[in-house]
Amino acid sequence: MKKLNKRIQNNKQKIEKRLYHQKEAISLVKETANAKFVESIEVHVALSIDPKYSDQQLRSTLILPKGTGKTKRIAVLISSEAIKSEYLELADIIGSDDLIETITKGELNFDILIATPDMMPKLAKLGRILGPKGLMPSPKAGTVTTDIGLTLQEFKKGKVEYRADKTGIVHLLIGKSNFTESDLLENLFAIYTSIENNKPIGVKGRYFKTFYISSTMGPSIQLDISTLK
């Protein structure tokens, strides 16, 4: 078994087996994010849902008020005659049939793909390429739209898509270790509120099970969910 280095051992010793108030947790996650690079801060939220049932599935989007701290490359699939100069300024890649051809070759030089509804039939054949990487546009993810300008602005501001995995857990990036505590708290509350407001109709009784926060290389810290309400 691989021996933990001294830094990781010291970080683990700082975490007690108890629930932490949100402010205390944010302070502690920043303290333990002490690797030699700017670590990402993530939340992992376990919910009392069974995604195999259609009325217990969770998939939505939200705009993190302080952004994610991560720059994402955005591609737009749109008919050539509908391209506007403002789209060229906001998107990293923009195209029509030429972009489809590029994707067909397996060249996915983007993190988000936005498409207009009229272009979706052309993407159907590319599901096996885009689907496994979570890049297929969809209305639920806010990436199939007729308002390309507004959608681009929202994703540039920090709009993120999230969904519960097959075990009912939501994993979300909420920022970087160089964010201020107040910025991380604001993003944290926005995530909690969004998940709460998008509670699937099939959920009965208790909704939230556990709520953890951690940095890339740091230990997990369990939040007292009642402090988020």
How much of the chain, in percent, has pLDDT values that exceed 70?
A: 98
pLDDT given for residue 65 in this prediction: 93
- Domain residue spans of the chain: 17-68+159-228, 74-156
Residues 6 or more apart from 77 whose CB is under 8 A from it?
95, 96, 99, 100, 113, 114, 115, 116, 119, 122, 123, 137
Cα 78 from Cα 148, distance rounded (Å): 9
Q: What is the tens place of the pLDDT at every residue in 3-51?
A: 567 887 888 888 888 999 999 999 999 999 988 999 999 999 999 999 9
**Which CATH superfamily hosts domain 17-68+159-228?**
Ribosomal protein L1/L10, rRNA-binding domain (3.30.190.20)
pLDDT given for residue 1 in this prediction: 46
Cα 162 from Cα 60, distance rounded (Å): 6
* Per-residue pLDDT band at 55 (split at 50, 70, 90): very high
Q: What is the domain class of 74-156 according to CATH?
A: alpha beta
Residue 68 in this model has a pLDDT that exceeds 50: yes
Start-end of H helices in the chain: 6-13, 22-31, 85-90, 97-104, 120-123, 127-130, 148-157, 181-197
